[in-house]
């Protein structure tokens, strides 16, 4: 289901839920029941082969009517051997697949006694299941996940995931509201149906991720069934999942108080904006200066994010956080809607309550364990980023050197001016490059990157003239449609909601088309739109030489042009390889890897044609008048 259709379906279901809530619940439950039926069908299909083989084996071993029956049973066993093996394999894969366990630093009760006391109290008061493990991560996030120990066979392990950056932002009371919110999902405190749908959505997400890795034909049939059902399940349960977020907020307010819950929501949204817009770009700029990663990143985070909650910074950030509108991209409602549901008004007193917490949840819950844990996480982060940090530092050193060269050069061409704009964006991002961009466009009015950049700068300065720049670039380059429409959507959100919605739908429609094109790239479909290539002879000769050099087993190869989207004029090039008649799948993949390894003059996808595909493909090539590449 493409994004636009999903969007429209969710909108209709939201209307149904508002006008006829019981009817919506009945529909959502029916779709969930269909999912259970599909799951049961998949398991039954997977087990069928095993049962059939076991029954035949029993007949043979028991020697019942050993004569003709046994002979026929042996024949049937041989006939069913391969499909039965495939079904049994699919069964084992489906039922006992090991889902990856969440990553994080495990916390013990001895390290965080206050936190584990909170979890015990929540379980007792809300009569929910036990939390079996607590993981500390390096992210501004919190979640509770159910990790199946034995695949679909169950025996769930409930894992609470808390980000240390989150605990450094909140007070203990505010963090309690976050934990209560997540535990409310798990326990279904305000409705078992909501809790079931929340867990079932997580299960289907895991199954989708797992099924994408299945390769044998039996498992692929099950995977296709999952892919068909999953978007409908997501759409029909989306409204219920969003309602569950409001219920989880209500649980948090009952446990920690509406004020603390509202404060936590505001702090987290403000901290997320600061992290994305200021903190990580600042760390990235630090890589340009220091040859080694900073030693105490978590301390830098706590100091900088706490400064954000001091006026007047917090007023500006809170205003920005409240501008986001609830959409269908996330089941979590926007901040303004969640605060309204809690009955909390944002006023000057709200800003006073958002002053930095006297004692953070990290200090209150981790106590004396905080410093060694923080050091441990910092060391892990340094080890994870050190290689990229060194590359970034070397790159930025070279960029500064190049900027000095350009500045010493005096008169610059349009291309050199544009290069200087790009270098300045890395080396001195705070510098105004408007005049440089205007100079580039004065010399080259059709310079698309410069015009797109000017459009973005104009929108940042509340100048609607930037829309014309973005539209011109989007008309010339389809790859600019997604970032261009996204920028226009954000610009018009609080100025012209109707126009903002049109850009959002255009963005979603193009994203769906782009996803369809990306999917089409990965396969050579029988109905692919093929044509002779529009490349010069030298380029074709280079491609043929590379195929010949790196694929000596290749007996015949075709180079063709494939249209992916005629309206947008998006196309690519493909090379098909033919080898010995009975080349196995593993050997064919190894040949493809070798042939694809060298750099080609144009981007291409490479496919191996099996015996069944060759005849049809040859007929198409003859109709199109395309000859094989000269490999001799």
pLDDT tens by residue, 123-182: 998 888 889 999 999 999 998 887 766 555 556 788 999 999 999 999 999 999 999 999
pLDDT at 440 over 90: yes
Q: Is residue 512 domain-shared with residue 536, that is, in the same domain?
A: no
Residue 428 above 80 pLDDT? yes
User: Do both 52 and 90 map to the same domain?
Assistant: yes
- What is the count of structural domains for the chain? 3
Whether residue 2 has pLDDT greater than 90: no
Q: Which pLDDT belongs to residue 231?
A: 74
> Regarding beta strands 142-148 and 156-163, do their DSSP bridges make them parallel or antiparallel, or are they unpaired?
antiparallel
Confidence check: pLDDT of 360 > 70: yes
pLDDT tens per residue across span 462-516: 999 999 999 999 999 988 999 999 999 989 988 898 999 899 889 888 887 888 8
Cβ neighbours of residue 188 under 8 Å, at least 6 residues apart?
128, 194, 195, 196, 198
- 3-class DSSP assignment, residue 402: helix
Question: Percent of the chain at pLDDT above 90?
Answer: 42
119 lies in some domain: no
CA–CA separation, 392 and 328 (whole Å): 36
What was the pLDDT predicted at 329?
Answer: 67
Is the pLDDT at 341 greater than 60? The verdict is: yes
The whole-number pLDDT of residue 57 equals: 59
Q: Residue 584 sits in a domain of what CATH number?
A: 3.30.70
From residue 597, give the alpha-carbon distance in Å to each of 232, 540, 586.
Answer: 40, 17, 17
- Residue 53 resides in a domain: yes
Return the number of other C-beta atoms located less than 10 Å from residue 45's C-beta: 17
Helix (H, G, I), strand (E, B) or coil at 558: strand
Considering the domain architecture, whether residues 456 and 488 belong to the same structural domain is answered as: yes
570-578/604-608 β-pairing: parallel
Same domain membership, residue 613 and residue 543: yes
Q: List, for residues 382-427, the tens digit of each pLDDT value.
A: 999 999 999 999 999 999 999 999 999 888 899 999 999 999 988 8
What is the per-residue pLDDT across 207-235, written as a single tens digit (0 to 9) for each?
666 655 555 555 566 667 677 777 777 77
Residue 549 shares a structural domain with residue 494: no
For residue 152, give Cα distances in angstroms to 9, 50, 93, 156, 586.
30, 18, 10, 10, 30
Query: How far from 437 is each of 32, 404, 410, 414, 430, CA to CA, in Å?
Result: 54, 19, 17, 9, 15
Report which of residues 607 and 315 the model is more confident about: 607
Higher pLDDT pick, 467 / 41: 467
pLDDT digits (tens, 9 = 90+) for 253-297: 999 999 999 999 999 999 999 998 889 988 988 888 899 999 899
57-66, 310-319, 411-420, 485-494: least confidently modelled range:
57-66
Q: Which of 96, 119, 139 delimits the end of a domain?
A: 96
Whether the CB-CB separation of 428 and 407 falls below 8 Å is answered with no
Based on the domain organization, do 546 and 494 belong to the same domain?
A: no
In a domain, 103, yes or no: no
Q: Do the Cβ atoms of 460 and 435 come closer than 8 Å?
A: no
Assigned domain for 367 exists: no
What CATH number is given to the structural domain containing 428?
Answer: 1.25.40.10
What's the pLDDT at 79?
52
Percentage of the chain modeled with pLDDT above 70:
80
- pLDDT in the model for residue 91: 55
Say whether both 562 and 466 belong to one domain.
Answer: no
Answer yes or no: are the C-beta atoms of 218 and 92 closer than 8 Å. no
Beta carbons of 286 and 300 less than 8 angstroms apart: no
Cα–Cα distances in angstroms (integers) from residue 161 to residues 135, 274, 299, 479, in the given order: 5, 22, 21, 37
Which of helix, strand or coil describes residue 222?
helix
553 and 614 assigned to the same domain? yes
Specify the pLDDT at position 105.
Answer: 93
Classify residue 193: in a domain, yes or no. no
pLDDT tens-digit readout, 552-593: 999 999 999 999 888 778 889 999 999 887 788 788 889 999
The pLDDT value recorded for residue 247 is: 86
Determine the Cα–Cα distance for residues 441 and 447; give it in Å rounded to an integer. Answer: 6
Instruction: Point out the domain boundary residue: 96, 111, 143.
Output: 96
Do 414 and 510 fall into the same domain?
yes
State the distance between the two ends of the chain, measured CA to CA, in whole angstroms: 46
- 537 and 509 share a domain? no
- Tell me the β-bridge partners of 573: 561, 604
pTM for this prediction? 0.71
pLDDT confidence of 376, banded at 50, 70, 90?
Answer: very high
| Structural domain includes residue 390 | no
Q: DSSP string covering 237-267, please?
A: HHHHHHHHHHHHHHHHHHHH-HHHHHHHHHH
Cβ-in-10-Å burial (0-12, 13-18, 19+) of 412 comes to middle
* 19 within domain boundaries: yes
Domain boundary among 47, 73, 96: 96
Domain co-membership, 413 together with 516: yes
Range of 492's domain?
Answer: 409-520
Residues 491 and 574 in one domain: no
- pLDDT tens across 508-557, in order? 888 878 888 887 888 888 788 999 999 999 999 999 999 999 989 999 99
Asked, for residue 594, whether it belongs to a domain, the answer is yes
How much is the average pLDDT of 243-259?
89
């Amino acid at each position: 289901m493409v994004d636009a259709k999903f969007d429209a379906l969710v909108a209709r279901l939201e209307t149904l839920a508002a006008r006829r809530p019981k009817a919506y619940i009945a529909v959502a439950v029916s779709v969930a029941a269909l999912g259970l039926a599909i799951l049961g069908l998949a398991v039954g299909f997977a087990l069928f082969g095993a049962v059939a083989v076991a029954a035949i084996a029993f007949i043979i071993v028991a020697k019942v009517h050993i004569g003709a029956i046994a002979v026929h049973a042996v024949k049937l066993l041989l006939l069913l051997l391969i499909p039965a093996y495939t079904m049994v394999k699919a069964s084992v894969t489906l039922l006992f697949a090991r889902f990856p366990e969440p990553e994080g630093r495990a916390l013990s009760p001895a390290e965080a006694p206050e936190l584990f006391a909170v979890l015990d109290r929540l379980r007792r008061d809300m009569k929910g299941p036990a939390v079996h493990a607590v993981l500390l991560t390096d992210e501004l996030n919190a979640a509770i996940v159910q990790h199946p120990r034995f695949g679909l066979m169950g025996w769930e392990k409930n894992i609470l995931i808390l980000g240390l950056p989150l605990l450094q932002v909140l007070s203990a009371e505010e963090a309690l509201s976050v934990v209560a919110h997540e535990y409310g999902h798990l326990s279904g405190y305000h409705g078992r149906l909501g809790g079931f749908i929340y867990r079932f959505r997580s299960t289907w997400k895991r199954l989708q991720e797992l099924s994408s890795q299945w390769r044998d034909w039996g498992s692929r049939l099950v995977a296709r069934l999952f892919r068909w059902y999953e978007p409908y399940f997501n759409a029909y349960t989306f409204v219920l999942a969003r309602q569950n977020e409001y219920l989880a907020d209500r649980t948090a307010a009952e446990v920690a108080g509406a004020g603390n819950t509202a404060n936590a929501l505001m702090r987290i949204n403000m901290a997320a904006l600061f992290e994305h817009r200021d903190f990580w770009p600042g760390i990235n700029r630090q890589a340009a200066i220091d040859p080694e990663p900073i030693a105490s990143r978590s301390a830098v985070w706590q100091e900088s994010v706490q400064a954000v909650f001091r006026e007047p910074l917090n007023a500006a950030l809170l205003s920005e956080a409240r501008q986001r509108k609830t959409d269908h991209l996330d089941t979590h409602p926007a901040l303004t809607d969640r605060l309204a549901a809690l009955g909390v008004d944002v006023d000057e007193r709200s800003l006073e309550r958002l002053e930095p917490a006297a004692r953070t949840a990290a200090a209150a819950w981790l106590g004396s364990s905080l410093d060694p844990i923080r050091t441990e996480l910092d060391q892990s982060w340094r080890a994870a980023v050190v290689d990229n940090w060194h590359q970034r530092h070397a790159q930025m050193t070279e960029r500064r050197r190049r900027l000095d060269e350009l500045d010493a050069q005096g008169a610059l061409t349009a291309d050199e001016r544009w290069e200087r704009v790009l270098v300045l964006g890395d080396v001195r991002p705070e510098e105004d490059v408007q005049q440089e961009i205007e100079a580039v466009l004065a010399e080259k009015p059709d310079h698309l990157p410069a015009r797109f950049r000017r459009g973005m700068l104009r929108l940042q300065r509340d100048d609607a003239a930037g829309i014309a720049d973005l539209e011109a670039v989007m008309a010339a380059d389809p790859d600019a449609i997604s970032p261009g429409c996204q920028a226009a959507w954000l610009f018009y959100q609080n100025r012209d909601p109707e126009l903002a919605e049109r850009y959002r739908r255009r963005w979603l429609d193009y994203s769906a088309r782009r996803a369809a094109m990306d999917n089409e790239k990965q396969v050579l479909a029988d109905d692919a739109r093929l044509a002779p290539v529009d490349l010069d002879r030298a380029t074709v000769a280079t491609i043929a030489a590379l195929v010949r050099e790196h694929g000596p087993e290749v007996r015949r190869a075709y180079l063709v042009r494939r249209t992916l989207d005629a309206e947008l004029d998006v196309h690519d090039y493909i090379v098909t390889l033919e080898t010995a008649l009975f080349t196995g799948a593993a050997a064919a993949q190894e040949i493809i890897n070798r042939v694809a390894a060298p750099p080609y003059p144009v981007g291409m996808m490479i496919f191996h044609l099996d015996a069944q595909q060759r005849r049809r493909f040859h007929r198409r090539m003859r109709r199109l008048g395309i000859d094989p590449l000269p490999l001799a």
